[in-house]
């Protein structure tokens, strides 16, 4: 099977990048997209060229490491599938494919197809958890939870933090990612005590990371490899608004955030 790749090559965060064309007919349709890149990289190295850097680890669709745009679509054309499980049988012999890294202000490019997604970790740090220290838990069956709620919590908790939602969003919003965690924890009685504080803090952190705002476009849910539904954003907004009212608090504001935006504005003016 022959494929032509156009791949974004960028030496490091500071260097300018460009699309580079590669052609090979050493592919076959049972390969995954990442295995195709392995094959390409072996060829490049044997020719004395530098291999394409791309992120990957488990290669079974669960670790969330991999991901890039294929012809403008995050994780490529097959729904509910990460690039590590996307086999080449979904492409035509001789097809041209354009591979680009996630593009978002909050995800700076480190090299080629590799981006820095640590902003997601910092969003979780801002309350994306239930505060229970080791040793202080009651018996697992002490609090019955409706099966429906547990199942729904599981749906939301299955997010793998790959970043496709941000990459697909024209605003580079992290609403689906953040909404998924907030919705997971708010389904469960254990998550209730911190529900308001969590929504206020996580949303503030999202803004501080310079993710864009959500304008209900829905691209995020369309490309999500774990099919996180759009409703998580509504649940997040609901908690955020309720928290703002109930707590009679101003939405939490990070003083550093304003400064960062000012810097960004002056740098890009």
Q: Are 191 and 182 a contacting pair, CB within 8 Å? A: no
Q: Which of 184, 198, 202, 239 binds other proteins (CB under 8 A)?
A: 184
**How many Å apart are CA 63 and CA 56, to the nearest integer?**
8
Q: Which is nearer to other proteins, 80 or 246 (CB)?
A: 80
Q: Which of 76, 128, 179, 212 binds other proteins (CB under 8 A)?
A: 128
Q: Which of 18, 28, 213, 253 binds other proteins (CB under 8 A)?
A: 28
The answer to the question of residue 16 lying near other proteins (CB under 8 A) is no
Q: Which of 19, 137, 241, 242 binds other proteins (CB under 8 A)?
A: 137
The answer to the question of residue 49 lying near other proteins (CB under 8 A) is yes
The answer to the question of residue 135 lying near other proteins (CB under 8 A) is yes
Q: Are 179 and 229 a contacting pair, CB within 8 Å? A: no
The answer to the question of residue 116 lying near other proteins (CB under 8 A) is yes
How far apart, in Å, are the Cα atoms of 256 and each of 165, 206, 249? 25, 13, 19
Number of residues located near other proteins, criterion CB under 8 A = 80
As a residue count, the chain comes to: 269
Contact region with other proteins (CB under 8 A), list: 158-166, 208-216, 235-243, 245-253: 158-166
Q: Give the burial string for 239-264 (b: 16+ CB within 10 Å, else e).
A: bbeebbeeeeeeebeeeeeeeeeeee
């Amino acid at each position: 099977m022959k494929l032509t790749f156009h791949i974004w090559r960028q030496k490091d965060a500071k260097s300018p990048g460009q699309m580079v064309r590669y052609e090979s007919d050493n592919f076959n349709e049972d390969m995954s997209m990442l295995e195709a890149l392995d094959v390409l990289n072996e060829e490049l190295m044997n020719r004395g060229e530098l291999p394409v850097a791309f992120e990957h680890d488990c290669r079974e669709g669960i670790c969330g490491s991999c991901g890039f745009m294929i012809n403008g679509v995050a994780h490529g054309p097959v729904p509910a599938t990460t690039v590590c499980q996307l086999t080449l049988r979904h492409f035509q012999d001789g097809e041209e494919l354009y591979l680009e890294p996630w593009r978002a202000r909050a995800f700076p490019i480190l090299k080629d197809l590799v981006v820095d997604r640590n902003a997601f970790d910092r969003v979780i740090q801002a309350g994306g958890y239930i505060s229970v220290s080791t040793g202080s838990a009651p018996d697992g069956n002490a609090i019955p939870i409706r099966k429906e709620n547990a199942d729904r919590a599981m749906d939301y908790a299955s997010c793998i933090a790959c970043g496709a939602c941000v990459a697909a969003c024209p605003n580079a919003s992290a609403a689906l990612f953040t909404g998924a965690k907030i919705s997971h924890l708010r389904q469960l009685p254990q998550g209730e005590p911190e529900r308001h504080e969590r929504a206020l803090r996580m949303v503030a952190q999202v803004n501080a990371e310079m993710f864009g705002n959500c304008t209900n476009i829905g691209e995020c849910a369309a490309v999500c490899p774990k099919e996180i539904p759009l409703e998580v954003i509504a649940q997040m907004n609901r908690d955020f608004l309720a928290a703002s009212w109930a707590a009679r608090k101003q939405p939490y504001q990070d003083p550093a955030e304003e400064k960062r935006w000012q810097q960004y504005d002056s740098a890009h003016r």
